[in-house]
Structure 1
Amino acid sequence: MSSECLGSDGASTGYDRWRRDRWEEMAGPEGKAGLIAHRPITEPGQQLPEVPGRWTSTGFSGSLTLTAARAENVSVDGHAVDGTVELTGASRLSFPGGRRGTVEELRGAHALAVWDEAAPTLVGLRGIEAWPWDPAWAVEAEYRPADAGRLLEVTRVTSPGVRESFPAPGDFAFGLRGERHTLRAFGVGGDTLLIVFTDGTSGMDTPGMGRWLILPRPQDGTGTARIDFNRAVVPHHMFSAAFPCPLPPRENHLPARVEAGERAPVFAEEAAVGSATGPAV
């Protein structure tokens, strides 16, 4: 284990810090558990049930506009809307009742994400169950770049489910518990790679839709990388059903039980959830 993750007393201090940051990401004031809607904008003058206004997209290479009257109490970047305004990925929207919105520009389409600090999933989130840190679950892997432009078709968890092609720039090959494995990685923007995988715990101790490993792309495009299953996380969809998360490709199944990383979110009984105390660190 790197020195970053070990304190002088041998405790996994880096891992503890990562767990606290992860808790803040999910349960903090702007936590992901507060997402209540993720709405693609596909029609001119489209109206959404969660927020006021009329929304029009002309496609990824075009514009996204919002039309609202001043009485609807919508603001963009702190300015009240009274008419039509053009939005960008940097726009920050405010709506009545403390709700807020962010704009996404993703693979040929615009979408609006709506957040609510009073969402039951955010208010009711009590913790994220995880196995104890174990350095044996951190392994060295070989990164193997794929052919330029490789895409993998996967299903997103939406209603109804949709198939979508994701860029898959490379694979990670490694040994685990005496067996060799290869996991395919998606490109999710910048130099970040996402591995969506299942293992022997999936559907029992961990979500049936798998877990995630979020890794930096090797800077030289090849070589070795460190995969730490202690930092496997449950998908955002388990904190809010509004997240249209991808399901793992068939190739990304590990037959062994990976008893490392997150297991499930834990909610108060009254929270309306699709899945499961301050963080156990």
Structure 2
Amino acid sequence: MTHKEEIEQFRYKMNVEFSDLKTTPLKKKDFKKFKELAFFEIDASFKIEASFKSTPNEPIFEMQTTTDRKPLYTQYGIATFKHSGKEHTLRIYQNQELMLDPEYADHLFIPFNDLTNGAETYDGGRYIDVDIPKGEIIVIDFNKSYNPYCAYNDEYSCPIPPRENDLDLAIKAGVLAFKKH
């Protein structure tokens, strides 16, 4: 499968989820007029091969959310990459509850902010899901970045990207801010 086909499949699955009343995070009034999510153009330069450094023995902590809920996470590792002539670093986390579910045992979470927040993308940041890497390289495809459910419905409780994951870079890839109807 080509990179373009992979991203198109990712977008299709998101739109199917949002179009189904059983799985959509949309409010009823927005769901009625929903056609599809808006995305940046696919940009292969935002499929990053980053160096990955595992951070074992990090303490478990309560991640801040948009509500009083405090899910337990641990920092699993640090990714470092170059883009637009600068080096950037992202902390990568593992949800302590999800890791007990065999379906999500290899699941890692990257919440981040970038220079598009509040203009082209949701002001509360975006997320990317990745698998535990097998070595010292981790692939982070920002074309698969998505909004937290809070961007669509304030009834959700969503992790707030830690300041350490504020990128001094405009990530013009992935989902755009949701235009409410």
Report the TM-score range of the alignment, normalised by the length of the smaller protein. 0.7 to 0.9
Letter in 1 for 2:66: V
> In the TM superposition, what are the counterparts of 1:1-281 in structure 2 within 5 Å?
4-6=1-3, 12-33=4-25, 119-158=28-67, 161=68, 165-188=72-95, 189=98, 190-218=105-133, 220=134, 222-268=135-181
| 1:237 alignment partner, SS class | helix
Distance 2:53 2:91 in 1: 9
Distance 1:237 1:126 in 2: 19
1:130-184 deviation line (CA, Å, top 9, x unaligned)? 11101111110122111324334432112xx455542221121111111111111
Distance 1:124 1:143 in 2: 42
| 2:35 alignment partner, SS class | strand
| 1:187 alignment partner, SS class | strand
Question: Cα RMSD over matched residues?
Answer: 2.0
Percent identity over the alignment is 24
| 2:73 alignment partner, SS class | strand
Structure 2 residue aligned with 1:41: none
Distance 1:31 1:130 in 2: 20
Distance 1:125 1:238 in 2: 14
- TM-score, normalised by the number of residues in structure 2: 0.85
Contact 2:69–2:157 (CA under 8 A) maintained in structure 1? no
Equivalent residue pairs, number: 173
Letter in 2 for 1:5: T
1:13-63 deviation line (CA, Å, top 9, x unaligned)? 2211211011112222422325x7xxxxxxxxxxxxxxxxxxxxxxxxxxx
Where is the strand percentage greater, Structure 1 or Structure 2?
1
Structure 1 residue aligned with 2:101: none
Distance 1:198 1:19 in 2: 21
Distance 1:202 1:248 in 2: 12
1:226-256 deviation line (CA, Å, top 9, x unaligned)? 1111111111111222220010101001111
> Bigger radius of gyration, 1 or 2?
1
Gaps of 5+ in 2: 99-104
Contact 2:109–2:127 (CA under 8 A) maintained in structure 1? yes
Where is the helix percentage greater, Structure 1 or Structure 2?
2
